[in-house]
Amino acid sequence: MTHYQDDINAIQELKQANGAGWNAIDPESAARMRAQNRFRTGLEIAQYTADIMRRDMAEYDADSSVYTQSLGVWHGFIGQQKLISIKKHLKTTNKRYLYLSGWMVAALRSEFGPLPDQSMHEKTSVPALIEELYTFLRQADARELDLLFTQLDAARAAGDETAEEFIQSQIDGYETHVVPIIADIDAGFGNPEATYLLAKKMIEAGACAIQIENQVSDEKQCGHQDGKVTVPHEDFIAKLNAVRYAFIELGIDNGIIVARTDSLGAGLTQKLAVTREPGDLGDQYNSFLDVEEIAEGDLGNGDVVIKRDGTLLRPKRLASNLYQFRSGTGEARVVLDCITSLRNGADLLWIETEKPHVEQIAAMVDAIREEIPNAKLVYNNSPSFNWTLSFRQQAYDALAEQGADVSAYDRDKLMSVEYDDTELARLADEKIRTFQRDGAARAGIFHHLITLPTYHTAALSTDDLAKGYFGDEGMLAYVKGVQRREIREGIATVKHQNMAGSDLGDNHKEYFAGEAALKAGGQHNTMNQFS
């Protein structure tokens, strides 16, 4: 007996119990609708996906080759098509997630229009996008199952028991498109209470993993821009606690918190940390400040000073009233941030770097793992990096270190197309190809993501189409560059009416009205041209 058949039987009993008024209800049709709506609430999704992530984290701890991946998406349709593509090409969604980028919410989803990544978009945009993503993923389930149900009916009508049994097994073993979302809450959008309230909305929408960064909410900057301002550890810990309380309150006890540190590129702090005794967490934070030793008589009006080991130290304060850290302290601050976050409720780390360099990341992770052996990262394979230039420079340095002749290359101009067919370029491309595998094995990277890939692919594909369609190619640009490829490569959207639920709706109409149903998928439907 299968779950599908169990549902049919249960609904049959329910129908009988409710008498003649339910005569029109077909138990199998109702069972199909139940199968197509496996997840009834966002909290069900959050629990289901949290369980997946916890299992994947344990598997990675045992074997670093089984790392996880995601692509950032900014619309439910984009997320849906990504998962459909994964299932089509790779046959399973295992170890593949979605990433929700605050940058893309700001740039593409704000009612104010395109904004910089500075937490200026509406807080509610993030939970709204989570809900939208899962709506589209659940619709992908409904559509794909509907196709299987149609095939099942056809096999029954043909009396093909072998086909019927095979299709039934596909229904029984169906793998959902619903996967974990790692969702960006930026710096928490305000004080810890604001962070808690927003985290609840995100979890209720289905988020099982929330990523939060140690920047100041009202001075938050994109991780790959200048002017980043961090907060003392106790401020950040309060927000970690706020997110954990939100998970616990909503019953997602194994929800995941990703603690991001921007300290590698952040040279500023808005306030000094509170310290109660030498060597405590606040004292450690303050020890990285750029200070000058002064005598009591040198104090100026409004000066702020720190006393350490009997000495008065004046932190260097900018006109913006921000304090700056000493140059070269970034990696040490990252290590302290990460150890502190893991000791205070975080599950995963995110270290924002200025370049994709496995050994740079690994050096920091090695230091963290001296204190927390199972520390692991979510890492941003960012489009803000010039991957070609960075890895060609890494290849150049590796060749030079091996004593190879690199005189044919200009290290500062390695992006040039003239180097594309060289040994150095091939070596660099191979390093890019294996970056995720190498980072997982050497640098503790459990999850690799690209924050903004679909922002760039949407722009690139639109540029290709516009260039040809409005140029000499005309309609051929669409037909050759889009539709012909959709047909030949089996892209589901070529039948766009079906993708949007037309056939699913037709079947529902038949459930509801029987032979009287007015269906859209008849012989005059032009989608039949793609059958």
Active-site residue numbers? 222
Q: At a CB cut-off of 8 Å and minimum separation 6, what does 143 contact? A: 498, 499, 501, 503, 504
12 φ, ψ to 5°? -60, -45
Sign of CA dihedral 201, 206, 208, 214: negative
72 DSSP β-pair partners = 99
Distance CA 267, CA 229 (A): 7
Distance CA 168, CA 282 (A): 62
Q: Which strands make up the sheet holding 306-308, listed edge to edge?
A: 291-294, 311-315, 306-308
Distance CA 165, CA 172 (A): 10
Tell me the helices (H) and strands (E) count for the chain, helix number first: 20, 14
Q: Name the token pair of 435.
A: 């970056």
Distance CA 527, CA 498 (A): 8
With tokens 């090695």, the residue in question is: 366
Strand 256-261 with 209-213, pairing: parallel
User: 181, 30, 162, 47: which is closest to 105 by C-alpha?
Assistant: 181
Orientation of helix 3-17 relative to helix 161-172, angle to 10°: 90
User: 398, 385, 376, 394: which is closest to 443 by C-alpha?
Assistant: 376
* Alpha-carbon separation of residue 254 from 130, 150, 305, 433 (angstroms): 19, 38, 43, 33
Residues 256/211, Cβ–Cβ less than 8 Å: no
Distance CA 40, CA 134 (A): 11
User: 234, 201, 269: which is closest to 46 by C-alpha?
Assistant: 201
Which long-range CB contacts under 8 A does 149-154 form with residues at least 24 apart?
149/32, 149/507, 150/503, 150/507
Q: Name the token pair of 295.
A: 């005598």
173 φ, ψ to 5°? -100, 25
C-alpha distance across the termini of the chain, in Å:
34
Distance CA 26, CA 28 (A): 6
| Cβ atoms within 10 Å, residue 144 | 19
Strand 68-72 with 445-450, pairing: parallel
